[in-house]
Structures are given as C-alpha cells and as structure tokens.
Structure 1
Amino acid sequence: MRSTLRCLIAILFFGAAWHCPAEETRLGNRLTPAVLAVRKALPWVVNIGTEQVIRVDDGYDVFYNDFFKWYSPRSKEVIEYFPLGSGVIVDPRGLVVTNYHVIQRAQRIEIRLWDGTTHQAELVGFDASNDLCLLRLVGDFKDKPLATAAFALPDDVLLGETVLSVGNPFGLEHSVSQGVISAINRKLEDGETTYDDILQTDAAINPGNSGGPLINLNGELIGLNLAIRHDAQGIGFVIPMKRIEQFLSHWLLPERFSSACLGMVLDQPFVMGNKGIILPEVMSCSDTHRAGLQKGDEVVAVNDQPIRRLADFGRAVWALRTGDNVRMTLAAGREVTTTVGTMRAPKLIQTRLGLQVQKLTRTLNEAMGFKPDLAGLTISEIYPEGAFARQQPTWRQVLKRGDVIIQVEDRLTPDENALAEVLSKTRSGQNLRLIVLSLQGRHYVTLAVDITLN
C-alpha cells in the first residue's frame, strides 16, 4: 500500500514520464525504452488546428427553406475545430515550432495541449524555404510552465536506430508510430528548394503528422516530420535537429518580440564555440558596447543559465524587455552585465520592414512631382531579403525605391518617429497595412499593401 502511494505521489509531481518499481514489476518487459520515450515526449507534443465555419441543419431544411428561407432560414453557422498538423513546445513560456505549410493559410491558429486545453497562437516568424515557423501561445505561463522538448545533439543520429513519430494524423490526436532511421543526409528537392541533410524514416507519417516530432529512444527531439513520398510506402522525410536549431537561433531574440534591443545584428548567424556560443557583431543600440561585449566573445552562461548550444542562448534572452539587466559569463571567465536597450527608429524600421526611409521635404516633393506640403516617407532603400529575414514576403515584389509611405493602419506617417511609434507596439509575424503612393509608369497610384512584419 505504501509503495503504491509513493508511486501515485511521484506521478503527481513528476508526470507520466515517471515510472515506479511497482509498475516495473507489474509490467515487466512491456515497459520498453520506446514506451518510456513516448511518455517523456507526449506532454510537449501539440496538435495544431484552425476554426472552420460550417452550416448545420436538422434534415428538414430543404422543405422549410423552399417556403420560408426569405424570412427565417433554419440552418445556422457553427464554428468547428479543424485539425491541421502537429508541433513541438520549445520553450516553457509558450513557444511552438512546426512546419510553415501547416499554418500557412490558417486565419486563426489554435493549439491543443496534451492535457486537452486549447490556446490561440500567434505567428512569430517563418522560414518558407526551410518550411519552419515559430508560434507563440497567447497566455501567461509563468505560474504553470509548459513541458518542453528535450533536444538531441545536432547530427547525433544513428543509421538504423529505432525512432518514434508522434503527431495528429487525420485528427487522431497524439498518435504514435515506430520505425528506424532509413537514411541520413538525404537529398530532397521541394520546388525551388533543395535539401541535402534530410533524415529518412519508415515510421508512419500521414497527413496531420507534419510538424510533429521524430524522437529517439531517449525521448529527445531529433527532427520534425516534413513529408512522405506519395508513390511509396514507408518513405518519410524529416527536418534534422541542426536545421531546426539554426532557425530558432535566428528568431529567439528580444528584437523579434518587442522594440527591445540586446545589440545583436539579426542577420548574422550565431555559431558554436568550444564551450558556448560565439557572438556576432554587437550594435550600439544598447549598453553592450559600454559593458565591453564585442564580436567574437564566447558566452557560456546568461543570468546563470548555462549555454551549451544555440537554442540555449535564444531561450535565455528572447523574453527580455527594455530595461532588463543581463549578466553574461564569457569563456575567459569574465562577467559582463548589460542593460537591454530600445531600438532606435531607423533600426526598428529596418528590422520590422527591411526598409530605409527618408522624410519628404519641399525639395523632394518638387523633384518627385508632389504637392509641396505632402507628408510621408519615401523608400530610399529596400534591403536584400536574405540580409534581414527569411519570410519571403510577397509585398517586396510590389514596393520599390521611390514609393512613399503615407499611412500605417490608421496612423499618418509624416516622419520616421511616427512610423517607429507604430512599429514599437508590434512584433514579428504581425500583419500591418501600409497606404503607399507607388509609381506606376509615369503616374503615382495609391496602394493598400498588407505586410507581414519581420
């Protein structure tokens, strides 16, 4: 009796992954490494869906509507949950990674957790060429942090090792399938993108498994399910951990979630050092220069959190806000304390929009054929897409140098500060509408351009 009570207490505090001696005795050989791995993984696997509006009736609608539909139609609209795919919780404060194609056309994203609770999610950022995206659950998880995926080391994959796929195939939540790693560094062409490091597995992958995890027998994430070969059985493709971690290191920075500025140059990749991560170029938008941080410094801890891999740094800093103090321990043993700053207007505009703008003046208006008193911001530079984001926004095929931004949402933009004030309340992945004067041939026309922010 006491043994059973102790087991119940252990399960209550440590979750389903915990197993007790009494359970081991009862289940014997059934408690395999695969079973234990699944128990570890299930709490951090999520189901992703959207809301779909459907019409329902009671079977008499055809007869009723023939006579009375103009007065009071019987059928009604009902909002129903529609499954799209799967995802993985990568931070206890509500961050989820999945395939971009899972949520690409969803107007509203719903995340269903292992315990059955549902949360709305917001898009933070995506990399269309790698079919990855980052979502953030709406809500405060400080008091009840979410279970988070354990990451396998990059490239720590064995040909032929047993692996497990967990996901939401055809809406069948948290389904598990087993297989092996069939190939490593498989070349895969998807449209204009060519992958040369894809994992191949024969674990069953079906519609709805996309974005869900492939795990090893330690219960560690080794990749995200990507696609299957439709003309074959048992050939599935998986995005490897190395590519996922590089994606996360690009997006897990304070600059993506607010106007806060840690000082990292966003388009320069982080790389691993001997003990921690190597800092890219450090900007002067925060106190980092005065504190002594510089390019090439190797960070081994942030606020006493060890940094052993790329994702560790991102998870330690992404939620920082302006005014927060950050203590970084360097490999040389030196400690640096810095304060998170605020992005200046030009940097904020470049970060969110990938643009450089210039205030219209009377001289510019005359040169461009506008009325002398026209107020707005002319686009003087559009940064190359790869230099500031990976989102491949289609609006970049519409705007060009010389176009004039006169309004963002319902706010006029007579100068940089007005535009920056609007952007300071935004985050990456958010949608905004710009009202733009665009040169079409010899004439300017007014365009409404919907933009996904970086």
Structure 2
Amino acid sequence: MKLSLNQLGVYLFLLVFGCGAGLFGSRYLLLQNSSFQQLRNVTMASPPESVVPNSPNGAIGATGGDNVNFIATAVQKVGPAVVRINATRKVANPISDALKNPLLRRFFGEDEQPIPEERIERGTGSGFILSEDGELLTNAHVVADTDTVQVTLKDGRSLEGKVVGVDSVTDVAVVKIKANHLPTVKLGNSQNLIPGQWAIAIGNPLGLDNTVTIGIISATDRTSTQVGVPDKRVSFIQTDAAINPGNSGGPLLNAQGEVIGVNTAIRADAQGLGFAIPIETAARIANELFTKGRVEHPFLGVEMADLSAIKKQQINQENQLNIQQDVGIVIKGVTGDSPAKRGGLLPGDVIQKVNGKPVKTSAQVQKLVESSKVGDIIAIEVNRSGKIQTFKVQSGAYPERK
C-alpha cells in the first residue's frame, strides 16, 4: 500500500504523541503509588504507644514506650505511704468458760487447767501515713482492744505503733509511730464523686502486701443500714474495686492519686462490692482523736426511714402510725429521754428541712447532724399530719456502748 507524504506525517505524529502520553501516564501513576507508599510507611512506622495519650483523668495508655499509666502513677505516689498493721489482742476463751461446769470438771484434776482462760487473736489490716512524723490512719476494728501494734512500712522497716485513739461509731482509729521524714498521702475530695469515676484501692489483703486493685465508684451516700453495719454513723462510698480482708484501713484513691476514702466494710453476701468511709469524715475524726484522744458525736435520738409507697404501708402497720406521704424521711421512733424527745419530735413526723436546708434522704439528715457539734441547736422542720412545724432540738452526746 502506498502512503502519501501527508498520511505518513499524520501516522508519525500519532505514534509520537501516543508514546508520550503513555510515558506521562505511567509517570503520573508511579508518583501516585509512591506517595501512597510513603504515607503507608509513615503510618506503619509510628509506634503504637505514641497514639494512645496518657491522661490523668482516666484514659488508660502509655507514653514514650513505657508502661506507666495513670494507675501506676497514682500507686507510685501513694504506695510508699501505705502500711501493714499487725494487731495482737487477748480475748476470753469461751471453751475455757464451758469447762468450768462441775459436770465436766470431774474429767480433769482439781488443780488442772485444761484450756487457757485467754487466747491470743492476731489480725492484719492496712493504714496510711498522714504526716511525716508518723501519724497514721486506719480502721477502728483493725486496732480495737489493743494498745500497741506492729507497723510495717513498704521499705521493709517494722516499727511499734501506739494506738492514740479509736472511734467505733465511725470505725476510724489513729496510730503513732516514732519516725521522721516519712512519705505521706495527699487527701482529695469525696463530696462531688460521680458513679463511674475511677477508684483505686491499695492495701494488704489476705497477707499479700501492697496489693493494688482498680474499679469505679459504684454509688455514694450508702447508709450504714444498707451496708449492713447499722451501729455505725457513716455515709459510705460504694466501689467495685476488689476489697478483701486485710484491705481494711487502706486508702481508696481517685485517678489523680488522692485519697478519697478509707476502705472498710465488706458485706459477706456481696460479690464485687466494697465500701469506704469518705475522707472528709475520716480526716475530721482522726484530727479529733489526735488532739483529744476521743470523739463526741452529736445525738438526737431518732430512728429514720426513707419513705416509699410500700415502705409507708409497712411502717404504718408496724408502728401504728398514719403517714400519708409517699416520699420523705419519716421518724419511725424517738428514744426515751433523748434530745429529740425533749425537743418535741414524735414518731410519724416527716422531716422536710434541717437548719433550713431541704433534705430528701435520711443519709442527708445524718450528714447534717454529724457535721454539727454536741450542744448545737438544730432546727428540724417536719410535716405533722399535714401541718408544717419547726422544732429546735439541742443535740446531746452519742451514748457510749457498755
């Protein structure tokens, strides 16, 4: 086939243009692929640790390639100030009393003492250091009925501790050891705790020193009755951080490593629930014990209950009352010859305000009364059979248990 000169020129132009376009297109695709690979390489080269920030407010992560998160940081700050307390006390031996029966004595000689009258009871708990010169805080039940205890520091030193004061009403006690320049804890604030916040417990459960557990704040303002210790006067913090025997007296921390409570009560029938005394209550009691050796608790002499429709019916039946309200705080009973009795309060009164502050739960009433001093005049506003009345009650001292 013969081609004209013009046709040959057109074919040559198309051939050159096509090759150029192909080369340009290949170069464009190569650049695109190279950029993607560079981005991919940068992403894959980034260490995983650098993309997880370490936050004191609760984000669990590590920085700089190490394993220090907010929990470890809190424990490093507070751990050295947490101690183990070993208490030894003599208690009556019930078997010895039983063997004093003449019918059983004939099996033994007249002068023979088959069973010792007393036995030694040993217990282990926890505590934490408040001051550099050796002031410690723990639970009352850890050091009850003993004058001295053995205190073991995290650095291994073991020192004799003197029990300065015990308050069984709040389950708080203080101990003094002879030492200086000790590590101390930092006290936080438990007043504004919200369920769901982090909670860290440090203590010596089951003889396992310096054990750390973590969970959340499960609830606040749990009454002593709800916790199962009705003889105490504390509104407890509830947590699911594991608390076992031996944790008693140890600190409950927030995410910043500040003490917000003193681990104390464990319900035998509970799984994954523990309770702590709010640090404001514990610190106030500890200060009084160190300065005066004892604590006087304001006392009104009323038995209260939070109302509900079902609870109202039950209280009316059991106490022969005629409460009409479905909500509020009802006075179920008034102790004879008590400040409440002298002040004019009666069973069936529904408390509305304490010292002018509206209250909705018995725990709130307990807190307001406990924050006052013995001898203070407390204004109690109640609904009595539909009529609002205010009674001024002078608080007395909480009666000592015999």
TM-score normalised by structure 1 residue count: 0.43
Indicate the structure (1 or 2) with the bigger Cα radius of gyration.
2
Name whichever structure is richer in strand by fraction.
1
